[in-house]
A and B are shown apart, each in its own frame.
Chain A
Amino acid sequence: MAALDLINVEKSFGSNKILHDISVSLAHGEFLVLVGPSGCGKSTLMNIIAGLEEPSGGQLRLDGRDITPLAPADRNISMVFQSYALYPNMTVAKNIEFPLAMRKVEKSKRAERVKSVARLLQIEHLLDRKPRQLSGGQRQRVAIGRALAREPQLYLFDEPLSNLDAQLRLDMRTEIKKLHHRLGATIVYVTHDQIEAMTLATRIAVMKGGVLQQLGSPYEVYNQPANMFVAGFMGSPRMNLIKSRLAQANGSLALEINNADHPLVRIPLPAPSAALSAYAGRDVFAGIRAEAVRLARDGMAPTATECMFDARVEVIEPTGADTLVVLDLGGKEFTVRLEPDVQLKPGQDARFLVELSKLVCFDADTERRIA
């Protein structure tokens, strides 16, 4: 039995459809991240799970129990808000205790719970303070503590890190991941930050325009994006998406990148899938991650799954950990990720190796991945 089932959930305001037929099934202990650009419907979906908004259609089940008609308080769900939503008139202890007090839990049991949650999150010394006396990170901990206090069946996190500064955001991200491991809790987490999604999730739901684009593990979403939107949204730098012709010559297939006044670039495909072979002679979009390319040094020969190509270096962006190099490939920009100490200069021609097992192709019309 799954912990959370969203079955054909829909939401519309009048004729304006916000969510289209969303179905997700989540096992116990999973960490689902809803990610997408703003306005994609991820927050609406979370509010529907919380019970703060009603779906126009579909059903929600928590541990097999239909919670669609239930009020937020009766769903056994906790939520951590972007603004932390700590009650300003109550101390930290009272804040953590609040959901228990509302459920008429015994006083001694409440105190015990507050203590153990505070110990877990290392906020014991803050219990008597008011929220306004806390820093951003401390507020975040208290908000999480309040969610933990009543041990719900499901935790919701609504962009909990976006109000923190960069360094603290990384620390809290690790902290949340640790907490997930330790509690084995089922979590639904909303963010617009694809790196947060990749690092935290056991499964990612990429959304756009109220439509679920792809539901999969971080590995799947990153390496086998369902369509060009997911390919472009996940990962930084973005996946290189290059329009090319799948040409057939001498019984083998090759991608040809052809721009009017540039020399033709040809990438032979030694072992194309059956699905891809069916596209012979048509235009496709080739998707290549920046890290699937390496610099070919003198005397290096391509391995069985690699292909060599020449390109002109346009821009070099060292990030410290590695160097991003923008190439001119047949008139198109093409970003590759190279080692930090790479010796290249803008304007220089160089030879590169691309790992073809990492190559994905997309239908030029539907923008879907050709499996």
Chain B
Amino acid sequence: MRDHRASGIPLERILLYAVLFFLAVMFLLPVYVMVCNSLKPLDEIRSGNLMSLPVQWTVDPWFTAWSTAQIGVQPTGLRPYFYNSFLLVIPAVVISTLIGALNGYILTQFRFRGANALFAAMLFSVFIPFQIVLIPMAKTLGILGMAGTVKGLIFVNSVYGIGFTTLFFRNYYAAFPQELVRSARIDGADFFGVLFRILLPSSAPIIVVTVIWQFTNIWNEFLFGASFSDYSSFPITVALNNLVNSSTGVKEYNVHFAGAFIAAIPTLIVYLLSGKYFVRGLMAGSVKG
């Protein structure tokens, strides 16, 4: 190998970077196609090829997708549905994370009879496919009077997330030093005192993992959104689908690309801001657990 060090860089390094560069290009290509075509007038897409840069740059497709595209009955663009998704995601993430923390706390710190069996049962909910719960859930939402509302979607996504959040917190708290909790109890902390003053403040890594996981899952969730919402409560994923599928007349690809990118922005931001904590949090859980 030493023979190849003409430029001071070993051959295997060069090969490695070549492969990495190739893979990075492959991964970034769809993003390039989306961004580049969302900045072209429609004529250019139809006459030119998808890979070429815009000749005549325009941001109109973004404005159309955001505020004037025909999605429901009104030409509202994605904007109201984008808000719907936030109204849905934030409470659903907070609720499912808090319940997960509570479950993890109870399952690990109160070793009651059947705790492990109960945990196994909750874990099983992670493996239930969405389709199976559609009809029972529709009935439940009807009984609760939440059918076709954002509230209903919050409920569904929170319930479906509890399995995951419980798994995360339970495994994190299983490795949490018991003496800390005992000490807090002797010092006078009550049930919620221990949770809010001792456990949660020490749970930053697993909270980050849970929030990212729940946020991306619920933001990208389509089936529940399509099944349990109506025109006023569609989340962004359903609206995007409607935008792409129900456009009458010409298919406005540039608007579709812009819309798809808008729908992806929040999860991108969440990953960029907390991606390194995500990896760190997963590692912390695995090493200690």
A interface list, Cβ under 8 A from B:
50-52, 71-73, 77-79, 81-83, 85, 87-90, 98-99, 102-103, 146
Contact = CB atoms under 8 A, between A and B. Distances in A.
Interface of B: 177, 179-180, 182-190, 193, 197-198, 201-202
B189 A83 contact: no
B198 A72 contact: no
A81 B179 CA distance: 7
Contact of A79 (B180, B186, B201): B186
Interface majority SS on B: helix, strand, loop or mixed? helix
Contacts, number: 58
Contacts of B177: 83, 85
Contacts of B180: 85, 87-88
Contacts of A87: 180, 183-184, 197-198, 202
B188 A85 contact: no
A51 B186 contact: yes
Given A87-B198, A89-B202, A72 B179 contact: no
Contacts of A82: 179
A102 B183 contact: no
Given A88-B202, A102-B193, A73 B179 contact: no
Nearest to A143: B183
A99 B188 contact: yes
10 contacts: A50-B182, A72-B185, A73-B185, A73-B186, A79-B182, A81-B182, A81-B183, A85-B179, A85-B180, A98-B197
A78 B186 contact: yes
A98 B197 CA distance: 10
Chain A CB within 10 Å, residue with most, of B177, B187, B197, B202: B187
A82 B198 CA distance: 18
A51 B182 CA distance: 10
Nearest to B204: A89
B179 A102 contact: no
Contact of B186 (A52, A88, A89, A90): A52
Nearest to A87: B198
A51 to B, nearest CB: 7
B192 to A, nearest CB: 12
A356 to B, nearest CB: 49
Contacts of A78: 186-187
A160 to B, nearest CB: 12
A52 B202 CA distance: 22
A39 B193 CA distance: 32
A71 B186 CA distance: 8
A102 B201 contact: no
B186 A72 contact: yes
A103 B202 CA distance: 22
Nearest to A73: B188
Q: Lowest 7 CB-CB distances: which A-B pairs, in order? A: A102-B188, A89-B201, A85-B183, A99-B187, A73-B188, A85-B179, A81-B179
A136 to B, nearest CB: 15
B185 A52 contact: yes
